[in-house]
Amino acid sequence: MHELKIGKNDAGQRLDKFITKTLHLPASLLHKSIRLKKIKVNRKRAEASQMLSEGDSVQCFLPEEFFGAPRTEHSLAAIHPSLTVLYEDENILLADKRPGVSVHEDEHESTNTLITQIQAYLYQRGEYDPDAEQSFAPALCNRIDRNTGGIVIAAKTAEALRVMNEKIKSREIDKFYLCAVHGVPAKESDTLRGYLLKDEKKKQVAVFDKNPPRGAKEIITRYRVIAKRQESALLEVELLTGRTHQIRAHMAHIGHPLLGDGKYGQNREDRARGYKYQALYSYKLRFAFTGEPTALDYLSGKEFSIKKSDIYFTKEFFK
């Protein structure tokens, strides 16, 4: 019998979710074990949906093969983190992700990802011990495309992750982007509305002004021109909805594709001008929390940003 103590980062989740993360049991065996009382909570029969609290103990009467051998020196010790940290406290970390860096493992990168860099950074500072955690690891709360740069929120605790995910879902975090586009929009500022349809096979989206096809989702994109040259403009964009490739596709739809955008723009000409990635950066966010009190309410009203002059594609607009 193995006994698992529920710590701070394990609490607040269902029993079946905790066991799945901790022991990686197949779903069929997991539910069978709970039904046959081979998995108990505080030595009592439990349900898969039972919520765990800090201090609980979970008894597992399962074969040794599911528990594994004790781990030794962790692989995170061998990584040399290269991070630009904008803000950090005991709950969250804000990182400036550079274009070309994958946030998670994908077809382009399997090891040197942003989340791996952050976990290694915290591990080497003594703030994260994988061997002491049963079901939690520092995680990203938002994602940015590999070829887009900008602010990414990482949660250091399970509670911070839950709160941030809820705040993002309820749109209590305002996000602002900078982008450089072909041409100068006729209006100095505007709120664009449309409908976006995602093509999973092509990994591309299409935008419609009206009569959207089935499955399309409404998008609202607000922009203002903050600098311009003869053939291009620098815009600040606020996402009022957050859809895949929303800014890139919406700006291309109105005739102003982003510089360097290979999917929706004129990438061959832009590459000749030195644009390796689409000129898009998530440069500012504002915490605007409402609703029930949380452990992160001290962040409400705070704003964090990257200097415009520090973003590679803005320089030509401020010469």
- 254: alpha, beta or left? (left if phi > 0; alpha if psi -120 to 50): alpha
Q: Does the pLDDT value for residue 69 go beyond 60?
A: no
Say what the pLDDT of residue 110 is: 61
> Measured between alpha carbons, how far is residue 139 from residues 71, 119, 161 in Å?
21, 8, 7
Q: Does the pLDDT value for residue 310 go beyond 60?
A: yes
- In degrees and rounded to multiples of 5, residue 137 shows phi and psi of -140, 145
CA 199/CA 280 separation, integer angstroms: 22
What's the mean pLDDT in 29-41? Answer: 92
Model pTM score = 0.83
Residues facing residue 236 across a β-bridge: 178, 224
For 173-203, write each residue's pLDDT tens digit. Answer: 999 999 999 999 999 999 999 999 999 888 8
Tokens of 199: 């093509």
Confidence class for position 78, pLDDT limits 50, 70, 90: confident
User: Domain residue spans in the chain?
Assistant: 2-66, 75-169, 174-317
What's the mean pLDDT in 292-305? Answer: 95
Confidence class for position 157, pLDDT limits 50, 70, 90: very high
In this structure, are residues 169 and 144 in contact, taking their beta carbons and an 8 Å threshold? no
Say what the pLDDT of residue 22 is: 84
For 224-266, write each residue's pLDDT tens digit. Answer: 999 998 889 999 999 999 899 999 999 999 999 999 998 998 7
Q: Does the pLDDT value for residue 39 go beyond 90?
A: yes
- In degrees and rounded to multiples of 5, residue 208 shows phi and psi of -125, 140
Answer yes or no: same fold for 75-169 and 174-317: yes
Third-level CATH fold of 174-317: Pseudouridine synthase (3.30.2350)
CA 167/CA 151 separation, integer angstroms: 16
CA 120/CA 113 separation, integer angstroms: 11
Confidence class for position 72, pLDDT limits 50, 70, 90: very low
Let me know if domain 75-169 sits in CATH 3.30.2350.10.
yes
| CATH architecture of the domain formed by 2-66 | Roll (3.10)
